[in-house]
Amino acid sequence: MDTKGLTQLGQPVRGFSTPDEAVLEKVPNPQKGQTYLARFTAPEFTSLCPVTGQPDFAHLVIDYVPGDWLVESKSLKLYLASFRNHGAFHEDCTVAIGRRIVETVQPVWLRIGGYWYPRGGIPIDVFWQSGPPPAGLWLPDQGVPPYRGRG
């Protein structure tokens, strides 16, 4: 596998202070031309409320159909962790993550579900996709139930 240009995989990386500083990397898709779904699940995503500074928690599910590139998973982990001290509303975090992945790897299709735990007693779930899914794609449910303690 060509790892030329990767700065994080196999290297000690300290992490990033903000999402803007984080480096999201890509690797060549060895199954280029095949229509398949890849899923990342981040059940312990955190960010901060931009008004109160209190922590917010979400279960993120990212589904995408790779084109020429795959998301390099260590860089995704570090990118998501960079939100830990970042103040933004749920909607902004969820959509920004989806758009950043699309910008970086240019997948055939992507959707992200942000299943946020209650803030002020109200859970906020945010969904974004890059367009309609490709014909013939097996698209499983994201598997996160409506909020009832999410347990």
Catalytic residue positions? 49, 56
Angle CA 62–96–39, to nearest 5: 10
At 81, phi and psi to the nearest 5? -65, -25
What residues have CB less than 8 Å from 61, skipping those under 6 apart?
39, 40, 41, 42, 112, 113, 115, 142, 143, 144
Pairing of strands 125-129, 109-116: antiparallel
What is the distance between the alpha carbons of residues 84 and 86, in angstroms, rounded to a whole number? 6
